[in-house]
Amino acid sequence: MIPDTLAQACRNVLLTAEPREKVRAAREAARGWRRGRLAHVFDVAMPDRPARPEAPELLPASRMPKRGRGGSERGRIAMLHALAHIEFGAIDLAFDLVGRFGGDFPPDFADDWIGVGADEAMHFALLDRRLRALGGGYGAMPAHDGLWEAAEETAGDVLARLAVVPMVLEARGLDVTPATVARFEAAGDRRSAAILNRIFTDEIRHVRAGTKWFVSRCQSQGFATIPHWQRLVRRHFRGAIKPPFNDSARDQAGLSRDFYLGVAASKDV
């Protein structure tokens, strides 16, 4: 069935398991929304879990094999596979955010997050293509389900979802990606480095969207923005917010040090 509402299109993305088909569904949803073919109507519920392909095998984070630091070709393939899995999961996170919470926001919320979902689909496609060029491919290695665990933890509160997913998990990518790019460049893998640089630039915009909508929602509901963000992170985020931080990139995303220093691990902050 061809979707004619935004919620139907989002649900369709979430229920598509095969990676290339999920990318196609995400692009079709984004195109349909941009061209006005999808009504801003939320007439179907989002699934509790998205459909997943048979591979990769999903393991608990504690059982994941060590990837190394990306110096050897095998290490670089493992790193690219891990990043591809993050981007694959991020497609679902973006469309779930719209389909689950979009009815509580004006259409420009969907504009932002459907655009994020399209970006994530493009990032995954670039990484999968690069893996294939290196003799790998998405699904060839195990992966973990940490991103969707964060989605489940925040399924009942859009502010918790925004606080944890873009403003913690994606913001962490801003901290670590430049060093990863440098390792790929040092190994002579400039093609992979260029892909990661593209992703890094886009992720600044994604974190900015998360911060913008978090602040706007807090203001409309009468919450003090930074204290409420810190409360939600302490309640819903299971990991640690670890330095060092890429303060420049975070500032570009509107995520000032006032947010995260109050909840960060104290060492080297």
DSSP per-residue letters across 218-231: HHHHT--HHHHHHH
70 DSSP assignment:
S
What pTM was computed for the model? 0.94
- The candidate with the shortest Cα–Cα distance to 23, out of 119, 97, 96, is 119
The answer to whether residue 14 sits within a structural domain is yes
The answer on pLDDT for 67 being more than 60 is no
Taking residues 234-251, what's their average pLDDT?
94
Q: Read off the pLDDT band of 69 (50, 70, 90).
A: low
Res. 244: pLDDT tops 50:
yes
**For residue 89, is it within any domain?**
yes
- Cα-to-chain-centroid distance, residue 259: 20
- Asked whether residue 54 is assigned to any structural domain, the reply reads no
pLDDT of amino acid 66: 66
Domain presence at residue 268: no
Whole-number pLDDT of residue 266: 46
Strands (DSSP E) along 67-182, which ranges?
Answer: 143-144
- Judge if the upstream peptide bond of residue 107 is cis by omega within 30 degrees of 0: no
Question: Is 242 a domain residue?
Answer: yes
Choose the most confident range, by mean pLDDT, from 60-64, 222-226, 235-239: 222-226
What is the three-class DSSP state of 240? coil
For 58, phi then psi, to 5°, come to: -95, 125
At residue 68 the predicted structure's pLDDT band, cuts being 50, 70 and 90, is: low
Pick from 161, 248, 267: which is nearest to 209 by CA? 161
Banded model confidence at residue 267, pLDDT cuts 50, 70, 90: very low
Can you give the CATH number for the domain in which 136 is found?
1.20.1260.10
Which pLDDT value is given to residue 268? 45
β-strand partners of 39: 5
Q: What is the pLDDT of residues 132-154, one digit of tens each?
A: 999 989 999 999 888 899 999 99
Q: What is the DSSP letter of 104?
A: G
Q: Is residue 85 part of a domain?
A: yes
The verdict on residue 58 lying in a domain is: no
Whether 265 is in a domain gets the answer no
Comparing CA positions, the residue from 200, 106, 210 lying closest to residue 158 is 210
- Tell me which residue range forms the domain holding 129: 6-42+68-260
- Please tell me the total count of domains within the chain: 1
Question: How do residues 162-220 score in pLDDT, each as one tens digit?
Answer: 999 999 999 999 999 999 999 999 999 999 999 999 999 999 999 999 999 999 999 99
pLDDT digits (tens, 9 = 90+) for 3-35: 999 999 999 999 999 999 999 999 999 999 999
Extract the tokens encoding 135: 């003799």
Q: What is the mean pLDDT of the chain?
A: 94
